[in-house]
Structure 1
């Protein structure tokens, strides 16, 4: 961006929109892509128009794209069915059959690269929100593994996600460079084993813990957390669920004011180094571990991260990625759940390309 423009418009410092902060760069700045920003009203609408100075021809024939956030899922579906909007995503799982049966609408479904997982505070000496005082039970691998084995992810995928999810043991999806099918085997669901692990760790009667969860960010996110809470109750872990909108949820967990939380991650680079750097390496300089909100830490993982970033030999690089994932899995650094599926609804006269990273590029949208 232009330095003089940033100085003139008081946009010299970057801001984090996820924390509710905006400046001229996020509200008015035009990039160099095929479309440029015409106007932006946060929470109301954002309008894009073709960039007449774009360097090459685009396939799209749209002259204006209006993005309107509609918080209520039923209202979004109604807007599509009535013809008030041309396209919406995601289509709620409970409405997929209804939308696909409408002759004026087409439904586009496919796998997504986003992995949904649970994180745990492994840094504090005492959990913020727990009945256990003076220590942090989540620092104990046995407790983390007990949580893992008490969660019936297959049941969540089948019932909560209505089959639109793929259970995973890894923090990356198939399609990501570095994904290993051989490592993608979940620990067995086993409440008896989970109870024994808790007892061995010194918690034969379980304990209470707070859990943070959004209700409007991921597919059926609040319902996933409710299911997890019910499953953990079977091993005498009482989960005090704190569910809230993403507008307040993310500022809270990004400041690490959490003991137990749900998060989703899509590697924008389609490469395993992305989540390794952001989620698995310990928090450090230059954004390292920025979304490792429970501060999971392993010295060897921190050593391998930079090596993976610079290694050009594919075989050596894949071996290092596999080593990181093995360490992380063995230590139960996080609790991976599943990759959610994509479901987009649009009018019959709209053609577009559905990418596995859930990005709809306007340059490929054609209205017939």
Structure 2
């Protein structure tokens, strides 16, 4: 047999072996990705799901260090300019070649109307095409963390978006949908074969992927299962292979089962409460003619009325870390010295309310998701019970994230719960997105939904963005956090722990940002 014939036979056998070993992994989550449009909602579950299909210029390794993706290298050519060399030979799932035009289009799309990821590109002044496989990104000033910022900014096909009338992202605040909501065309390791919102989404391996796919998963079936007990039962019975989050009360049960285990680790996400501090009168309160949250004494009273250690013990069953900051360990800029909470003191809280003119408390609606964070509704119920002790009546409005996020993103709220993971793993991300005065034009403060605003803090955030000296930058970050803490701009609660239920047949990587790359999943 000739060498060519032997090679051909070997190729056929290899293909047959691949088909024979084709594996399906079934994943369940308490909620669904609300859209396949990666620019429509800056929420980690949606990004985690969509970024198996789409990719950024940069990516993250298993240890969250920065890695090349659609860009093979990058360097600063001037204090305000970064040159990105683009990967050659990459195609989108429909076969269209990936070029610099797609990068220029995607960054403009991410910063345009309807985008929920404007904050990722608000420091970009211009993107210039050097050639088909190189771009220069010019920022509004020195911006040393630009490659980190771009690690989860998905690059979309300019041609596909134009042909499918998806030039702009879906606006979750208005409920507008387009083709990119339910179809996808990325460059990533998996393609979308089937999409049934809130029922299931089926992904299949991209056989033309440019990079290495470490795992053996050929098909991934992602299913939302809202009920925690049903999710646990599905894992233990073998109906699903991976599920998250695991209710903290069920960790021991799953670990005792013969077929599954719980993978537990720290998460970078901080859970916090926000308050409308802009309107002269709250939308949802019995206080008329004024806004109690504009008074720092009221904000501090709420803070000191919350028994965060009690919530950690009874609601989170130890699977949380109380925090005084809007970022936690693992985020650049966090320091233990600053992470000191005000003491829980209901009597002091009552006095603060009385001094502010509310001796009998007041009534306000609190918005909360019931299927997004670990025990989110139970956390809100515990906060409501704590506040009742100081005379504050909370009307708790807990709902599925599908309706919750559009509502609060419209700032149609007086008091709300939110979680945030800085995707750059740097404090600037949280400061700029959560604590800066909102500016709808450039996306600054886009998730500062209560419109807390301090111009001195904004000035520091601008300096942090451009400072290249690490020691000076750290000092600026600490000064910024001190202003926010002293103002009691938000009410930080805790960093929750990750708990994934995993079949003993499955191996995967749990990243601290709670992203689940399918390319690292294998099943026996």
Which residue does the alignment assign to 1:340? 496
Which residue does the alignment assign to 1:41? 196
1:189 paired residue among 332, 338, 344: 344
Which residue does the alignment assign to 1:292? 448
Q: Distance in 2 between matches of 1:5 and 1:31?
A: 10
**1:207-286 paired onto structure 2 within 5 Å:** 207-284=362-439, 285-286=441-442
**SS at structure 2 position matched to 1:286:** coil
**1:33-182 paired onto structure 2 within 5 Å:** 33-182=188-337
Q: Distance in 1 between matches of 2:169 and 2:200?
A: 22
TM-score under structure 2 normalisation?
Answer: 0.68
Q: Distance in 2 between matches of 1:303 and 1:120?
A: 22
**What's the C-alpha RMSD, in Å, of the aligned pairs?**
1.4
Per-residue CA distance 1:154-175 (angstroms, 9 max, x = gap): 0001101111110000000100
Shift of 1:3: 2.6
User: How many positions carry a matched residue from both structures?
Assistant: 368
- After superposing the two structures, state which structure 1 stretch, 54-63 or 113-122, moved more: 54-63
Which residue does the alignment assign to 2:474? 318
Which residue does the alignment assign to 2:15? none
2:186 paired residue among 16, 28, 31: 31
Answer yes or no: is the 8 Å Cα contact 2:384–2:396 preserved in 1: yes
Shift of 1:17: 5.3
Answer yes or no: is the 8 Å Cα contact 1:20–1:247 preserved in 2: no
TM-score under structure 1 normalisation?
Answer: 0.97
Shift of 1:112: 0.7
Q: Structure 2 vs 1, CA of residues 72 and 19 (structure 1 numbering), >3 Å: closer, same or farther?
A: farther
Answer yes or no: is the 8 Å Cα contact 1:100–1:107 preserved in 2: yes
Q: Distance in 1 between matches of 2:255 and 2:176?
A: 38
Answer yes or no: is the 8 Å Cα contact 2:284–2:365 preserved in 1: yes
**SS at structure 1 position matched to 2:462:** helix
Higher RCO (C-alpha 8 Å, min separation 6) = 1
Q: Distance in 2 between matches of 1:147 and 1:242?
A: 18
Per-residue CA distance 1:305-337 (angstroms, 9 max, x = gap): 222222211111111111111000000000000
Shift of 1:16: 4.0
Q: Structure 2 vs 1, CA of residues 102 and 158 (structure 1 numbering), >3 Å: closer, same or farther?
A: same
**SS at structure 2 position matched to 1:63:** strand
Q: Structure 2 vs 1, CA of residues 31 and 220 (structure 1 numbering), >3 Å: closer, same or farther?
A: same
Shift of 1:73: 1.3
Shift of 1:351: 0.5
Answer yes or no: is the 8 Å Cα contact 1:19–1:247 preserved in 2: no
Q: Distance in 1 between matches of 2:391 and 2:201?
A: 47
Per-residue CA distance 1:119-175 (angstroms, 9 max, x = gap): 001001111111211111110001100100011100001101111110000000100
Q: Distance in 2 between matches of 1:28 and 1:195?
A: 53
Q: Structure 2 vs 1, CA of residues 42 and 22 (structure 1 numbering), >3 Å: closer, same or farther?
A: farther
Answer yes or no: is the 8 Å Cα contact 1:254–1:291 preserved in 2: yes
Shift of 1:18: 7.7
Per-residue CA distance 1:44-96 (angstroms, 9 max, x = gap): 21122222232222211111111111121111111111111111111112211
**SS at structure 2 position matched to 1:236:** coil
Answer yes or no: is the 8 Å Cα contact 2:173–2:410 preserved in 1: no
Which residue does the alignment assign to 2:483? 327
Does residue 309 of the first structure (1) align with residue 485 of the second (2)?
Answer: no
- After superposing the two structures, state which structure 1 stretch, 303-312 or 313-322, moved more: 303-312
**SS at structure 1 position matched to 2:218:** coil
Which residue does the alignment assign to 2:515? 359
Answer yes or no: is the 8 Å Cα contact 2:262–2:500 preserved in 1: yes
- After superposing the two structures, state which structure 1 stretch, 75-84 or 160-169, moved more: 75-84
Unaligned runs of at least 5 residues, structure 2: 1-155
- After superposing the two structures, state which structure 1 stretch, 51-60 or 229-238, moved more: 51-60
Answer yes or no: is the 8 Å Cα contact 1:18–1:247 preserved in 2: no
Per-residue CA distance 1:7-32 (angstroms, 9 max, x = gap): 21111111145865442224222222
